[in-house]
Amino acid sequence: MRIRKIITGIFMLTLSIGLSGCVSVAAWERGNLAKPQMALDPHPLQSTVRMHNYGSREAAASTHSAEGGGGCGCY
């Protein structure tokens, strides 16, 4: 139950930051944000490989779980 509280807490915090709208970064100030190294996932091919391996070796749930598929991972 403690974990549930933490989850809710973190999410609400994030949400409030996001919806506050207090952040203002003008379009011409976004040059750094636009760089490839700032992409949310700079190496998607690598992420896929890793996620598949972690998924077959660990029991954690994923926030990417809507992706589906993946098969048994029976090994």
Partner 1 sequence: MVNNKKGSHRGDSSHLIVDSCQSYPIKITSVSTLACATFSESSTTTSKALQALTSAALVLPGLLLTPAHASDADRINFQFSRYQEGKRDLFGVPNNLKPITADVLHGSGIFSLTDRTKFNFSYTQDTWSGATPITISPLAANGNRPILGNTATGITTVGASPIINNSQVLLDRDLNPLRQDSQNHQLMNKDPRSVMVLSSASPETRNQANFGLSREWNEAALNVSGGFSRERDYKSNFGNVSGRLDFNQKLTSVKFGSGYTSSNISAILDHDASPYITKTAFSRQIESRGGSEILQGNRHDWTGNLGLTQVLTKNALLEANIGYTHSNGYMENPYKVMTVIFVDPAVLNNNQTTPITGDMRALLEQRPNVRNQVAINTKYIQYVSAFDAALHLGYRLSTDDWGINTHTFDANWVQPIGSGWTLTPRIRYYSQDAAGFYNPYLFSQQTYRRNEVDSLGRQIWIDAKNPNIQYVRDSSFNLIDQNGNLVNEALLNVQPKTASFDAGKLPGNFSSDHRLAGFGALSGGVTLNKMIMKGVALEAGFEYYTRASSMQLGSGGRNGFADFDYYVANAALKLDLESTNLSMPGRNLSQHQDSPTHHQHKAPPAGIMFGHMLDKPGDFMVGYRFMHSWTNGNMMHGAHKVNDQTIVDQGCDTTLCRFTPTYMNMRMHMLDIMYAPAKWWNIMLMPTFMDMDMNLRTLAGRPAPVPGVHEHQGIAGHETGAVGDTMISSLVKLIDIPGHRVHMSLGLSAPTGKVDLQLRRLFQIDGGLIHFGMQLGSGTWDFMPNLTYAGEYNRWSWGAQVNGIKRMENQNKSGYRLGDVFQATTWGGYDLTRWLTASVRGAYTVQGAIHRDFNSFNARIGPMDFPANYGGQFWDIGLGLNAIIPGGRFAGNRFSFEWVQPVRNDFNGFQLERKGALSATWSYRF
Task: Return residues touching partner 1 (CB under 8 A).
Answer: 3-4, 6-7, 10-11, 14-15, 17-19, 21, 23-54, 57-72, 74-75
User: Which of these, 54, 58, 57, 52, lies nearest to 71 by C-alpha position?
Assistant: 52
**Residue 51 and residue 60 in contact, taking contact as beta carbons nearer than 8 Å:** no
**Residue 62 and residue 51 in contact, taking contact as beta carbons nearer than 8 Å:** yes
| Closest CB 73 distance from partner 1, rounded Å | 9
| Closest CB 24 distance from partner 1, rounded Å | 8
| Closest CB 55 distance from partner 1, rounded Å | 9
